[in-house]
Amino acid sequence: MIYISKGIVQEKSTERNIYVGRGGQVFQLTKVEAQLWLAGKFGFYETKNSSQERAIEHLYRMGLVEYESEDTLVARYRILTRCVLCAATNSNLSPVTGRFEASILNWLTKAGIRLSMAELVYLHERQIKATEELLYVDNRQKLVETIYTKENIFDNILECQMEHAACRDKVTAAVMVLLKNKKIVIL
């Protein structure tokens, strides 16, 4: 089983007690759950045994992780489609490692809406540039109309379509670089 953690560590956390904020709630994690949540904070992590899997299932019920039973590139994409990707507050302080990662971060920081993983893949699959007429709150309707058409407006159709996109793995890898470099957070 692989998983990724969701939420933000709260300031009152200590080595023994991790407090994680997500969705307006704060959860206290101790022992195994705290260790597992921290292991998946900046990337995918694979469980080692059935007791860890039970702990991950409990964290999942709390809304603090997303997981898949096997570690494949498709599974990693699917996990990220169930997460909210947000630019970190410090995302503009230091340069990003590559141009592609910078492009993803630019979309996440300036889109005017919270872009999903599938929407990011769609934008890069169609080579849609982050231009002024698609960025910021005033232009979010234009961006939505650019992404969603009569072919993909139905529930979860875009996620399924982008699962087969040629750039899916490249976008997934770029998102993971941004997460590891603390440029984004996953909620």
- 81-140 confidence digits (pLDDT tens): 999 999 998 766 566 678 999 999 999 999 999 999 999 999 999 999 999 999 999 999
- Res 93: pLDDT: 54
Mean pLDDT of 27-39: 95
Nearest to 3 by CA among 110, 121, 104, 83: 83
Other Cβ atoms less than 10 A from the Cβ of 75: the count is: 16
- Res 90: pLDDT: 72
- Res 102: pLDDT: 93
Other Cβ atoms less than 10 A from the Cβ of 183: the count is: 24
**Residues of 151-172 as b/e, b for ≥16 C-beta within 10 angstroms?**
ebeeeeebbeebeebebbeebb
DSSP 3-state assignment of 113?
Answer: coil
| CA–CA–CA angle 39, 40, 41 (5° rounding) | 95
Nearest to 173 by CA among 6, 21, 44: 44
Mean pLDDT of 64-70: 98
Q: How far apart are CA 56 and CA 67, in angstroms?
A: 8
pTM of the model: 0.92
Angstrom distances, CA of residue 7 to CA of 26, 83, 101, 142, 154:
9, 10, 22, 30, 28
CB 17 within 8 A of CB 33: no
Whether residue 20 is predicted with pLDDT greater than 70 in this model: the reply is yes
Other Cβ atoms less than 10 A from the Cβ of 95: the count is: 9
- Res 153: pLDDT: 84
Question: What is the per-residue pLDDT across 139-185, written as a single tens digit (0 to 9) for each?
Answer: 999 999 999 988 888 888 999 999 999 999 999 999 999 999 999 99
Which H or E run includes 35?
helix 31-39
